[in-house]
Structure 1
Amino acid sequence: MNLFDDLLLNILVLTIPIVLTHIVWLDRPGTLDSYDRYSQVFIIFICTLAAIFCMTHPFFKLIGNHFDLHIIPVLIAFLYSGIRAGLAVSGIILTYAYMMNGPNFIWFVTLLAILIPFILAFIALSNWKHLAPKMMFPTLLAFISALATFCITLLYRVSSFIPVDRVFLLYGLLYCLVHLLTMWLLTYLISRIRENITMRQETQRSEKLNVLSELAASVAHEIRNPMTVARGFMQILSQSQVSEEKKQVYTGMVIEEIDRAQSIITDYLSFAKPEAEKLEPLDVSALPSKLSNLLQPYAAARGVDIQFDMELSLVIQANVDKMMQCLVNLTKNGIEAMPAGGVLHIEGFKKGKQVILKIKDNGVGMTAEQINRLGTPFYSTTNKSTGLSMMVSYRIIRTFGGFIEVTSQPDQGTCFTISLPAV
């Protein structure tokens, strides 16, 4: 029973650190194919500790010989981290074996002198990573290495006049089988982990490319519309029978469409690079006057009354231009949500360590599905908007360390709640 416990303990000590290394350390872009210096050092450290533990706690103990699994960490280092890592682990356990075995050290050196060239030749000639049965070749290598170790041990016993009995032969057979099964288990786990990591990285890469392609297609579509309209008016203007009055009207429409295209490009660039260049203490309570001067004519033309209720000294860490851009975007959305007129209420107060800004309208409102899609590329509840302004606003607030919450019901209005860390 003790023999079985020692065997399970050896397998556990081998499996857990090596598998955790592949899960935690190698789950980074580029580390599966090429290891940096720190990755190799970490793998050398893990494999060395596992090999030393196996040498210190053998599972088969006979007079003159101990059987352990120290070959497997050496193989793992060679196969999955490179020749340098394998040689480093071999050198360290060779030093440890000299400290442990003393006079029997020569047999350990002989074993490594035979196994290492064989392992290097196997790696160089087999090209095993590019073959389909990736688990068979390391497993076969472990079995052959264990068999070679057993043969050298047998030669050592014969030369030392130590009796070779059935128990020794049985232990030798079990020793080879244990190496085969343990290496198969480790190779299987490592292969599955690496496949999952590769699949996850490919999925993330594909998602980024899909988002980029959708965004590029949306930008092209949104810019093509005003450019098509502007081109049509320019063709009309090139005709001689157009009156001066119509030329002025058409010229104004061309300028309006070009300004619309420029606004789309500006929003797109703000979304692509929303980071504020300089963050500084900003008193949000001083912004309503600027916001009122900018949007009062726009609100008055649509029959909307803007009301402010702001506490004093609402200081945050932000960029004034970016913050104004965000407030203008959200306020314009609130005004446009009230086509028949109404009241837009902007409230600011401090709650704990947060500065809260609420922009509330009594307009058409939104459904739960529309709320969930807010901030996604080119989604808008109106036909006139591109949706980029809302996306930019979300990014700006996140840049300042805050977040936006939206509550709304159809025909009952919408409330945008901005939470930002107070200074």
Structure 2
Amino acid sequence: MNIFDDLLLNILVLTVPIVLTHIFWLEKPGSLDSYDKYRQVFLLFICSLAAIFCVTHPFFKPIGNHFDLHIIPVLIAFLYGGIRSGLAVSGLILAYVYMMNGPNFVWIVTLLALLVPFILAFIALSNWKHLTPKVMFPTLLAFISALATFCITLLYRVGSFVPVDRTFLVYGILYCLVHLFTMWLLTYLIARIRENITLRQEIQRSEKLNVLSELAASVAHEIRNPMTVARGFMQILSQSQVTEEKKHVYTAMVIEEIDRAQGIITDYLSFAKPEAEKLEPLNLSDLSSKLNNLILPYAAARGVDIQIDMKSPLVIQANEEKIMQCLLNLTKNGIEAMTNGGALQIIGFKKGSNVILQITDTGVGMTAEQINRLGTPFYSTKNKSTGLSMMVSYRIIRTFGGLIEVTSEPNQGTCFTISLPAV
């Protein structure tokens, strides 16, 4: 039973640190096929500790010999850390054995002197990293190394006239099989970890490319519409039979469409780079009067009554230009949602460590599906809108560490609740 416990402990000590090393290091940006300086040093450290533990705690102890798993960390260092890491681990094993057990030192030197050239030749000739599956070849290498160690041990015992009994042969066979299983387990876990990380990175790249292509196509489509209209009016203006009155009308339409295209580009740039250049403490109570002056004419033209109730002070860390752009977008959307007039309420108060701003309209409202799609690229509930303004508003609030929540019911109005960290 002690042999079984020692064996499981050796496998655990070998498996857990090496697998965790691959998980943590491979999650970081960098190539999956090559370790940088720090990764090599860390893997060297882990393999050295594992090898020293295996040498100190052998699981088979027949008379005159100790069978342990120190070959496994040496192979891991060679295969995944490079030749220098493997040689360094081998050197550390020799130094440790020399300090702890002098007579066994010559035996370890002999084994490593025979195995290391074989391992290097295997790595140089097999090109195993480019073969599939990547588990079979390291496993075969571990089995052959263990078999060679057992054969050398057997020859040594025969040459020294030490009896070779049945127990020794059974231990030798189990020793080779344990190396086979342990190396298969380690390389299988490492290969799966690397494959999963590679797959996840490919999925992330594909998602980014899909979003980029959709965004580029949407921007091109939205800009093409006003450009097509402007081009048509310019063609009409080039005709000599167009009256002066129509020329003025068409010119105004061309300017309007060009301004629309410019607005789309501005919204896109705001979404692509929303970071505020200058953050400063702002009192939303003071900004409410400026906001009221900006939206009041637009609201009056649509028969909307503006009601503002801001508790003072409501200080946040933000950029005035960006936060005003966000508030204008949200209030304008609320006004446009009330096609037959109504009331737009803007309420501000402090709740705990946050400043809460609520913008409520009595418009057409939205369904749950529409609410979930708010802030996604080029989605809008209005026919002649790109949806960029709402996307920009969400991005601005997130930039300042805030959150936007929406509650709405069809034909019952909509409430946008903005939560920002208070200063």
Where on the TM-score scale, by shorter chain, does this alignment land: which range?
over 0.9
In the alignment, the residues of structure 2 paired with residue 338 and residue 11 of structure 1 have an alpha-carbon distance, to the nearest angstrom, of 70
**Alignment correspondent of 1:120:** 120
User: 8 Å contact 1:347–1:359 — kept in the other structure?
Assistant: yes
Q: In the alignment, what sits opposite 2:280? A: 280
Q: Deviations over 1:387-422 (max 9, x none)?
A: 111111111111111110000000000000000000
1:318 lines up with 2:318 in the alignment? yes
- Pairwise CA distance, 1:34: 2.0
> 2:289 is aligned with what amino acid?
S
Counterpart for residue 341 of structure 1: 341
2:145 alignment partner in structure 1: 145
Instruction: Give, in angstroms, the shift of residue 159 of structure 1.
Output: 4.5
* Equivalence for 1:74: 74
- Percent sequence identity over matched residues? 84
Query: Which moved further from structure 2: 362-371 or 276-285?
Result: 276-285
The residue that corresponds to 1:94 in the other structure is: 94
Q: Which moved more, 1:207-216 or 1:152-161?
A: 152-161
TM-fit CA distance, 1:160: 4.2
1:420 match? 420
Q: What TM-score does the superposition give when structure 2 sets the normalisation length?
A: 0.98
Matched residue SS, 1:62: coil
Task: Give the Cα–Cα distance (whole angstroms) in 1 for the partners of residues 38 and 46 of structure 2.
Answer: 12
Report the AA paired with residue 284 of structure 1: L
Q: 8 Å contact 1:29–1:201 — kept in the other structure?
A: no
- What CA RMSD, in Å, does the superposition of the two structures yield over aligned residues? 1.2
Distance 1:399 1:368 in 2: 25
2:217 aligns to what? Answer: 217
Task: Figure out how many residues of one structure are paired with residues of the other and give that number.
Answer: 423
CA contact (8 A) 1:283 1:315 kept: yes
Q: 1:4 and 2:4 equivalent?
A: yes
What do the CA deviations read for 1:282-308 (whole angstroms, capped 9, x no partner)? 111111111122111111111111110
- Deviations along 1:6-51, one digit per CA (max 9) or x if unpaired, are 1111111111111222222212332412211121122112111111
Moved more, 114-123 or 322-331: 114-123
2:149 partner amino acid: T
**Maintained 8 Å contact 1:230/1:253:** yes
Who is 1:20 aligned against?
20
Provide the C-alpha distance between the structure 2 equivalents of 1:180 and 1:315, rounded to a whole number of angstroms.
66
2:362 counterpart residue number:
362
Q: CA deviation at 1:151?
A: 2.2
CA distance in 2, matches of 1:398, 1:289: 24
**Counterpart-to-counterpart distance in 1, 2:262 and 2:397:** 23
Give the secondary structure class of the aligned counterpart of 1:66. coil
**Partner in structure 2 of residue 249 of structure 1:** 249
Name the residue aligned to 2:236.
236
Unpaired runs of at least 5, structure 1: none
Deviation track 1:337-394 (CA, whole Å, cap 9, x = no partner) reads 1111111000100011100000000000000000000000000000121111111111
Q: Distance in 2 between matches of 1:362 and 1:247?
A: 41
Q: Which residue of 1 aligns with 2:298?
A: 298
CA contact (8 A) 1:107 1:156 kept: no
After TM superposition, give the deviation of residue 117 of structure 1 in Å: 1.3
8 Å Cα contact 1:365-1:412 kept in structure 2:
yes
Q: In the alignment, what sits opposite 1:330?
A: 330
Cα deviation 1:47-92 (Å, max 9, x = unaligned): 1111111111110012221101111111111112221221221121
Moved more, 294-303 or 200-209: 294-303
Report the alpha carbon displacement of residue 139 of structure 1 after superposing the two structures with TM.
Answer: 0.7
Give the SS at the match of 2:356.
Answer: strand
Equivalent-residue separation in structure 2 for 1:229 and 1:60 (angstroms): 86
Taking the aligned partners of 2:244 and 2:85, their CA distance within structure 1 comes to 82
Alpha-carbon distance between aligned partners in 1 of 2:254 and 2:161, rounded to the nearest angstrom: 103
Structure 2 matches for 1:122-201, cutoff 5 A? 122-201=122-201
TM-score by length of 1: 0.98
Q: Distance in 2 between matches of 1:86 and 1:229?
A: 70
Mapped to 1, the partners of 2:265 and 2:87 lie a distance apart of 57
Measure how far apart 1:156 and its partner are. Answer: 3.3
Q: Shift of the alpha carbon at 1:161?
A: 4.1
Q: Which moved more, 1:25-34 or 1:247-256?
A: 25-34
Moved more, 284-293 or 359-368: 284-293
CA apart distance, 1:157 = 2.9
* CA distance, structure 2, for counterparts of residue 130 and residue 246 of structure 1: 71
Shift of 1:183: 0.8
- Counterparts of 2:87 and 2:403, CA distance in 1: 53
Runs of 5+ in structure 2 lacking a partner?
none
Rounded to whole Å, the distance in 1 between the matches of 2:84 and 2:294 is 67
Task: Select between 193-202 and 25-34 the one with higher mean Cα deviation.
Answer: 25-34
